[in-house]
A and B are shown apart, each in its own frame.
Chain A
């Protein structure tokens, strides 16, 4: 892999700092285990960049299916701001068909998917349909793509949001349940007959969370400029907190180099507000 060595994005020196958007993508990338089949949907620049970072660092044996082109293990020269673009086919030996990908996801052949939402509840149910609910939305969001089907069947889900700090994203109850978490008002995944494992990780711009045995989000680590109290205040449900909450492990130079190499246009930054884009860490901070 040339990501760590070619000079296009500039070498990463140990004295360089890094930004929150870079660290966030690295934290997302670390949720991919080597050897997994991973997929992101459209409108997901952070997840999209993270999957390539994972493959170029700790998970070279993963099989990456690029969302919306269904290209297998492409090596894009850059990530464009639209996810159905030929740039995302680069050097892919094979491109799945739309049907082929979704069939694989439905029958359980896909290990991980990245999902986000305008609202996310304690169980990882997400709302990408409408704030205020349907049929009378206060804000009509874009919609869920294939999530209402394959969130039920994919092995594990990495849920993410860059808007945790708004106080409006992690909510007690989603206004519309588009994609499935661990427990819905109609029952658990097992009771509903769903075969996938559900949310495993929740990565936000405040920290990293996992899920307890009863399916609720639990805070594991925060970014160093964030306190546990801040996370609790920004969360609209009773938040479980691990006994030994730490800080999110720092990105390595190789991971930072991969982020910068994969994403020279900086599409990952489209997901963050101005105050989060200003967050800077590391020796040069």
Chain B
């Protein structure tokens, strides 16, 4: 493996920046934060930081909660189900339409990207909400007859007051003859949204998978696309791409997802996973239980797409290999033309990344396609296996930060001097006030898709636009 470096960044200089950050903390906070910050050791190929630990109280963490991982990430994007935010009104309201997992269909008819809640009141806390839940489920079935199922996503109070949503779901599912999935994803569980992903995966395992079968026999090229959430239409880029390569994409988990197809995913030949963090659990379950192998791919930027498609083709016959080569030959020149246009304006520009899921590592290659270099990266809710995978992707000695707080990111922006920060909505405006170009990389900043060959031109345009907007020249006042 070749070691890459960034001029001016050494392990010592990065460690000095980290030490300055840690010195801002009181002793206890410092001790807790220290293992989560490190210069990258590219040669090690191993995680350089600790992760998946409790957030330090009193900092501006960007993390969400288990409910956010269940509602926002895993269950929410399934388009033909009613997803009930069970508890007080807020959680469902905040997560209503704020992830950009786009959906096909007519709202309230066969697509339910809405806000459903049991809107807990004081009396529900005192007397419990099980009865209300039962009524609500019947009402949902009556008013939204084309819903293929209902998920019940618990908010904090539900678990604390001892409601038994599992019993209600079981009884009501039978009565209404519709799958009802209780998901005990109370926000206080775990340390981040990550546990919400895991709990949701478990509920798919327990309540969904293998309850449906495709009517046609299993074909040799039947695959499922896992961990693709259709942010800004990503799945509408990746699914057709895989189809062009000769595959039958039988189900997408869970972007623009359909419950019954997800339920029949045990009948595919291969699971192709994009967001490893949120869905590796189910890939492993399906591998163990049904012998379905899985493969991790990266759909960001032509270099990684090409690599990924060839890696995928290796598992199949020559007809697939030929199609994959044809696809690469078709789209590579298109991407190259875009690179030729924007690279002169982006060459050598530095990006600092702080997001979640897969993006802190998966997007690095796409920036490199544009001539850019990563100077720092980190995750909100990753585990060690994510950081293992990140180490080789980041240049040596650049800064790795886990569950970074806002003040740490602000400080690293001063020391690492990025030309672009790629992070989330909570961080965006702090950096923009500093005059630093920024792109939201959870929501594609209301743009997208960014995945696949359809996404790369948009990504390239957006990054070019962010860094080279003339508005940044106006930030410094002449007087």
A and B interact? no
Interface residues of chain B, those whose CB is within 8 Å of chain A, are none
Interface residues of chain A, those whose CB is within 8 Å of chain B, are none
